[in-house]
A and B are shown apart, each in its own frame.
Chain A
């Protein structure tokens, strides 16, 4: 009877989503267990913070100050570029979101099934986390939330075998899908044909198609491209830019929601991925300036539609 019950549970959990609330409720039961496991780390963190010497704190303070200064300079550059970009895009009559609302979460140090690339973060439904929400770290996209409990939520990493993420080659604008390989430092790109313009070192960014991940965040760097003449598709392997197995702080993003002006946290944390996508903004500018010239010279809308920025291509593509 219990076997039948578990079978029903498995089918319902896998095929339909109506167990989400049950899972959220039950995750409250296991929350104390996760907290107990977390305890030694929390205690040692607390001791480390409260017992660190004055000199070390001062050194850390100094280094953080210089870092902040450098990032401020970069931010200034970024701000001017961003406003220029928005102005140019307004000329092209296309909308462009300035930024996204973000929240910092911490990983909980619990081990899950070693054959699934999943992590637990210490924010849940009480912080408006929802299943399907993108998860980033300072270097790039990490994954997305699969189960959101009240206080904790489970996220699947982009390298899990069940995960696929729509990406775009930053250099050429070529769109494809990156599949998780089951190895923590590898993504597979199986759907690019042999004559596709991809080279090792190319940066892959989120394309925003599918509507789940915000466009323009770095995902991976192409590591190897193998052309096998006997096959239709090239064998391409990429390395995720996010430190999937080392990051402790992660960013949760609400795509499409602009940050509140008064919340300093979102601005500060927005700096880290923004500097990464610095290159993106620059490349986004160059086609726009070209068409800007076109607007000035001829002012015919036909010219504008021929060379828009690659990220703004509207065709609806089927993404899993």
Chain B
């Protein structure tokens, strides 16, 4: 039991690292504005799949890394992802039983919440209001959720991360 726990950590860390890399990968301009919140999606998946291993603490640290990588105020994404992780843990038993499209809607709510919290912080420190397409990443994240869910599940089962 214990050995299996240790064995899977590498897979979880690697998925988070890939998500972080995708977050700062250079993209054409129009794609920058619809780039999904990779870290949020991966965090939600692991919170649903392994709620006893991935949670608020993981959310906070990965959020801090996102802050460093994207040059936002330290703690902005850390706080938002902490809240996202907390809510996912709170409802994980219910959301797990949902069909995938219903899960995607829940994910949309969580991603919008992440963006909303980040927006509050940036508005609070005096940044101007973003245009309407600020919310586009949440929608692309929702559309990508089935793909992410299936691929991460395959990965998890392949590596027997329990």
The chain A residues found within 8 Å of chain B, CB to CB, are: 2-3, 5-10, 12-14, 19, 22-23, 26-27, 29-30, 33-34, 36-37, 109-116, 118, 120, 146-147, 154, 161-162, 182
B 84-110 contacts with A by CB, 8 A: none
Q: How far is the CB of B61 from chain A (nearest CB, A)?
A: 10
Interface centre among B73, B75, B79 (most CB of A within 10 A): B75
Q: How far is the CA of A112 from the CA of B74 in the complex (A)?
A: 14
Instruction: Determine whether B26 belongs to the interface, using a CB cutoff of 8 Å to chain A.
Output: yes
B56 engages A2 (CB within 8 Å): yes
List residues of chain A with CB within 8 A of the CB of B162. Answer: none
B21 engages A37 (CB within 8 Å): yes
Instruction: Determine whether B72 belongs to the interface, using a CB cutoff of 8 Å to chain A.
Output: yes
A110 engages B69 (CB within 8 Å): yes
The listed residue (A13, A110, A114, A182) touching B74 by CB distance below 8 A is A13
List residues of chain A with CB within 8 A of the CB of B17. Answer: 33
Q: How far is the CA of A149 from the CA of B138 in the complex (A)?
A: 31
The chain B residues found within 8 Å of chain A, CB to CB, are: 17, 20-21, 24-27, 32-33, 35, 56-57, 59-60, 63-65, 68-76, 78-79, 82-83, 121-122, 125-128, 130, 134
- Known A-B contacts A5-B60, A114-B32, A114-B33; the reply to A147 vs B75 at CB < 8 A is no
List residues of chain B with CB within 8 A of the CB of A111. Answer: 24-27, 32, 35
List residues of chain B with CB within 8 A of the CB of A36. Answer: 21
List residues of chain B with CB within 8 A of the CB of A115. Answer: 122, 127, 130, 134
Chain A, residue nearest B22 (CB): A37
List residues of chain B with CB within 8 A of the CB of A37. Answer: 21, 24-26
B126 engages A162 (CB within 8 Å): yes
Q: How far is the CA of A5 from the CA of B64 in the complex (A)?
A: 11
B57 engages A2 (CB within 8 Å): yes
The binding surface of chain A is classed by DSSP as helix
Known A33-B20, A112-B70, A116-B127; further 12 A-B contacts with Cβ < 8 A: A5-B75, A5-B78, A9-B74, A10-B121, A19-B74, A37-B21, A37-B26, A110-B24, A111-B26, A112-B24, A147-B71, A161-B127
The listed residue (B21, B60, B70) touching A113 by CB distance below 8 A is B70
Q: How far is the CA of A12 from the CA of B67 in the complex (A)?
A: 14
The listed residue (B68, B78, B128) touching A2 by CB distance below 8 A is B78
A30 engages B69 (CB within 8 Å): yes
A161 engages B128 (CB within 8 Å): yes
Q: How far is the CA of A19 from the CA of B24 in the complex (A)?
A: 23
B74 engages A23 (CB within 8 Å): yes
List residues of chain B with CB within 8 A of the CB of A33. Answer: 17, 20-21, 24, 69
A6 engages B127 (CB within 8 Å): no
Chain B, residue nearest A119 (CB): B71
Q: How far is the CA of A9 from the CA of B78 in the complex (A)?
A: 10
A109 engages B26 (CB within 8 Å): yes
List residues of chain B with CB within 8 A of the CB of A182. Answer: 128
B20 engages A9 (CB within 8 Å): no
Q: How far is the CA of A114 from the CA of B64 in the complex (A)?
A: 18
Q: How far is the CA of A30 from the CA of B74 in the complex (A)?
A: 14
Chosen A-B contacts, 17 in total, with CB atoms closer than 8 Å, are A2-B78, A3-B83, A5-B60, A10-B79, A10-B125, A22-B74, A27-B68, A30-B20, A34-B24, A36-B21, A37-B21, A37-B26, A111-B35, A116-B71, A116-B127, A120-B71, A161-B128
A3 engages B33 (CB within 8 Å): no
Q: How far is the CB of A233 from chain B (nearest CB, A)?
A: 19
Chain B, residue nearest A114 (CB): B32
List residues of chain B with CB within 8 A of the CB of A9. Answer: 74-75, 78
Interface centre among B57, B70, B121 (most CB of A within 10 A): B70
Chain B, residue nearest A118 (CB): B71
The listed residue (A6, A27, A146) touching B78 by CB distance below 8 A is A6
Interface centre among A2, A6, A29, A120 (most CB of B within 10 A): A6
The listed residue (A3, A112, A118) touching B79 by CB distance below 8 A is A3
Closest 10 CB pairs of A and B: A9-B75, A6-B79, A6-B75, A10-B75, A13-B74, A110-B24, A2-B82, A114-B32, A6-B78, A2-B60
